[in-house]
Amino acid sequence: MGNVYLLNATIALKDSILQEGFIHIKEEKIESIGKMENCPSLTAADRVFDCSEKGYVIPGMIDIHVHGAAGFDFMDGKQEAFEGIARALAKEGTTSFLATTITNPVSHTSDTLKSLGWYKEDSNGPGVAEMIGIHLEGPFINKEQKGAQPESAIIVPNADLFKEWQELSGNTIKVITYAPELDTDFELLTELERTNVIPSMGHTNATYDESIHAIQQGVTHATHLFNGMKGMHHRDPGVVGAVLLQDDVHVEIIPDGIHFHPDLLKLIVKMKGLERILAITDGMRAKGLPDGEYDLGGQQVTSLDGKCTLTSTGSLAGSIVTMNDVRLNLAKWLELSIHDQVQITSMNQANRLGLSNRKGSLESGKDADIVVIGRDGEIELTICRGAVGYERSGAFG
């Protein structure tokens, strides 16, 4: 878009709030941020947004675990689906994401990973949410904790197959959810560490001792905490107990009021601190659409009253919560400041993925991934790498 200006804005900077501020965007980057009295001339501006009647301006949110939205799923394996999801995510204030797979036959997963690699490299331009990598969820999981993952396609961890998939994806896989108790001699974990891929415990039936051993060997992440893992028991604290007690483990949470009781957030924060919590949506193709029947990994899912379940078993099957709903829920349930909201929806994710040099906070030189929030918390404007990805009708005249 060239030169874009946000004026008269209340800007959530990394460590402070800038009142009556401006942001100058040049091409895909933030050129400068400052007080309105120091704002450059607007003679060369291509677009100006007056934020005087808005709420906060915050960094774009980052969803590291999302399967789909707007009727599309990444496992559709088509560019139309990838583009449709990227457009839809911008509407909820998400400017970056990890395209998340689901357990499927090896051949289909291979085709999807290859297509996603091509999309990231060649087609995912500004103006839509950026695909910053792939989250490989399955197929190396435990059938006892499969949740909504198709059991017929679950296989044991296989380092050689992972190497093949990583090559097919163009080295785009950044996180893998797997069951470490099934990883013989931690062969897969060794390969993940070698290639700097985040190993995440999920859909795992590990005992507490097995979980601790995996963490000691290098597992540093837990997928959708409480869900798809052995829960806490007073005689076996399970995966949940292990990841809460080990300081080095980061945890994903789905704060939709369905996947776990909201009061457990207080326990998570006390045990992990805000800096090791990453809010996700685990969104599926029904997100943004009416109640009805939808597909997830070849299985029928019922979306009803905000809850997604496998039609056949009633098991939870992802969510339709948006990242902005996640932010608002966290703010309400934990009484989080705007800085804390940013940390748990953007900054932590950027740090975790090694992208803090260009994402996660509003600073000169970083990607122009910017969200303007209305005074009621709604998304008014999303800018994705310098181009408008979403503008609420009538929000800026």
Q: What is the DSSP string of 89-125?
A: HHHTTEEEEEEE-----HHHHHHHHHHHHHHHHHT--
Nearest to 67 by CA among 182, 165, 147: 147
For residues 201 and 139, membership in a common domain is answered with yes
For residues 96 and 132, membership in a common domain is answered with yes
Inform me whether the pLDDT recorded for 1 exceeds 70: no
282, 325, 367, 369: which one is catalytic?
A: 282
For residues 366 and 252, membership in a common domain is answered with no
Inform me whether the pLDDT recorded for 397 exceeds 80: no
Mean pLDDT calculated for residue range 90-118: 98
Residues belonging to the chain: 397
For residues 34 and 152, membership in a common domain is answered with no
Domain count, the chain: 2
For residues 26 and 121, membership in a common domain is answered with no
Q: Which pLDDT score, from 0 to 100, does residue 197 have? A: 98
Residue 282 bears catalytic tag: yes
Residue with tokens 């310098």, as numbered in its chain: 386
Q: How many CA atoms lie within 13 A of 326 on its CB side?
A: 32
Mean pLDDT calculated for residue range 306-320: 94
Q: Which pLDDT score, from 0 to 100, does residue 351 have? A: 98
Give me the percent of the chain exceeding a pLDDT of 90.
Answer: 97
For residues 342 and 377, membership in a common domain is answered with no
CATH number of domain containing 27: 2.30.40.10
Structural domain of residue 20, as residue ranges? 4-58+360-391
Mean pLDDT calculated for residue range 198-202: 98
Question: Does any domain span residue 396?
Answer: no
Residues 20-51 have pLDDT tens digits of: 999 999 999 999 999 999 999 999 999 999 99
Q: What is the mean pLDDT of the chain?
A: 96
For residues 142 and 284, membership in a common domain is answered with yes
For residues 124 and 9, membership in a common domain is answered with no
For residues 29 and 126, membership in a common domain is answered with no
Q: Is the CB of residue 117 less than 8 Å from the CB of residue 170?
A: yes
Q: Is the CB of residue 102 less than 8 Å from the CB of residue 162?
A: no
For residues 36 and 11, membership in a common domain is answered with yes
